[in-house]
Copies of this chain bind each other. A is one copy, B any other.
Amino acid sequence: MEFEALTSSELAAYLRRVPAVNALLGDDSELDVVEVGDGNLNYVYFVSSTKAPQKSVVVKQAPPFLRLAGESWPLTRQRMEHEVAALRRFGALCPQHVPEVYHADSELFLMVMQRLASHRILRQGLKDGIVYPKLAGHLSTYMAHTLFFGSDLFLDAEVKKQAARAGINCELCKITEDLVFTYPFEDHPSNVYSPALPAEAIERLRQHAPLRSAVAQMKWAFMSRAETLLHGDLHTGSIMVNQDETYVIDPEFAFYGPMGFDVGAFLANLLLAFFSRDWHGRTGSADPRPYQAWLLEQVAEVWNRFAAKFLDLWREHEMKSGKSFIGGPTGSACAEAFRVDFMRALLADTLGFAGCKMIRRIVGMAKVAEITSIPDAVARAAIEVRCLQCAEAMLVQRASLTRIEQVVELAQEIQAGR
């Protein structure tokens, strides 16, 4: 049977039949249904009471295909179950940063969730040059909690293995395996190159052996390392913010993978915002540099605060439980030595994954607005080249970049053309 998106009246009638949702919307008014449809994968609706518009929910439904590509790219609708399970899991770990799920329907592959009406997508806010003073604090908390509590550092070994089993998400992982780690580095028809991007830059992605080996190492890590339940797509388009709050949405790519993949996704998108700010910050002869400095500050802050919180959770858990991952005694110098090495390896992974994520956004199929919205082809290509240079250095030098401040300096040097 062919899929047909719900009409507004069908959706309204459906929601009225779900008591929990009906109560939230108030039961005495017409419902206003708007398809917002900015997702790559799903149909998304804002539904609100016409009389009391603050009574509002979001409805998300998974069609049996990749929405970005259309019916020619089929996807099973079970991805909605992954998203619901992940939202509930992350919500339990970090309720202040994850929207609430009010209702999930495993026959219609549809869920109803909290409307974040006073928040906007972080990517848009960064493009507009907005400072979010609480962002680094919130994101570092979200990542520390979600990544730590799903891992063998916290969970009983069997519980973790069963969680990894339940988290297997073949179809959406395949999209990442192809679109992030493979196609951008070969001559693939899904790639889209901006008109002025130099041929040398494209050739380098395909033929520079140290870069391609590094990317393949990250692909291997992505495919084999079941470290924790990841969000799986933690870019700035999956984050909704205002000056006071930060929410992480859209975890349909959730699976048990390497921790650095989530952290790297976020840092990659901060760096894309940083380099593209060179254009967006010049509107009306303004100076892009102050906001660029803020963006790089966030790169360092997010990592450093994440690392500190992750280590705090880890030490606290070992103190409380009296058990240490490395074996007893707890709190020993040996346990601390392992923590230092662990975080160093996690930073290296983070930078490697960030590099892959930056490159795919420049030459791959799915782009980002802060780059594609640059109308001047030459200026856009210059920014794209800087993004590619930074990504390559992060990938190839990741083992020797042992402090995040070195990454900040790297980005500054590339921006300055040194």
Contacts and interface: CB of A to CB of B under 8 A. Distances in A.
Nearest to A212: B334
Interface stretch (A32-40, A41-49, A114-122, A223-231): A223-231
Interface string A206-242: 1111101101110110011111000000000000000
State how many copies of this chain the complex holds: 2
A20 interface: no
A73 interface: no
Given A185-B327, A224-B226, A326-B215, A337 B210 contact: yes
A334 B209 contact: yes
Contacts of A227: 224
B177 A157 contact: yes
Given A209-B333, A212-B337, A334-B212, A223 B327 contact: no
Nearest to A341: B213
Given A161-B173, A209-B333, 9 more contacts: A152-B220, A152-B224, A162-B168, A182-B327, A186-B328, A209-B336, A213-B340, A217-B345, A225-B226
Given A212-B337, A337-B210, A174 B186 contact: no
A161 B157 contact: no
A342 B333 CA distance: 32
A329 interface: yes
A1 interface: no
Contacts of A187: 328
A152 B223 contact: yes
B212 A338 contact: yes
A56 to B, nearest CB: 38
A186 B336 CA distance: 15
A14 interface: no
Given A157-B174, A168-B161, A213-B338, A186 B224 contact: no
Contact of A337 (B160, B213, B329, B340): B213
Nearest to A170: B158
A334 to B, nearest CB: 4
